[in-house]
Amino acid sequence: MTLKLAIRGLQGLGKKAKRQERRVISNVGEGLIAGAQIILDDARERVPVRTGELRDSGRVDPLEESRGELRTGVSFGGVRDVDYAVDVHEDPDQPDRKYLEIAEKKNRGAVKEAIASKSKG
């Protein structure tokens, strides 16, 4: 289960300022990773825990850059024997379901602040 975060429109920030462009992209990327970490930390507090393996499988995915877009994600499952992340997230009988979606919605402002803060650097 993965929640993707992306920032678009970074291409062509100026041919004369390639060095500055790389620094801006790097700073925005750091902010995107910081924002994803905020979501991950909150989701780990919300995820139902029986053995702890699902909670411990949570991670921020590596930053990817392609055609002026930076992407990362927050993922649970997909490692070891934790192949049930989507089932738990979507189970209508699970009181703590939608742990990742709720964490993303709750932290939108904090994610925007993290990106803006790093972008100023």
| Average pLDDT per block of 10 residues along the chain, 121 residues long | 75 63 86 97 95 95 90 90 89 90 97 91 62
| Cα 55 from Cα 43, distance rounded (Å) | 8
pLDDT of residue 64: 94
63: domain range?
Answer: 2-119
Count of structural domains, the chain: 1
pLDDT of residue 111: 96
pLDDT of residue 76: 95
Q: For residue 47, how far is the Cα from the chain centroid?
A: 16
The first and second tokens of residue 56, run together, are 């411990």
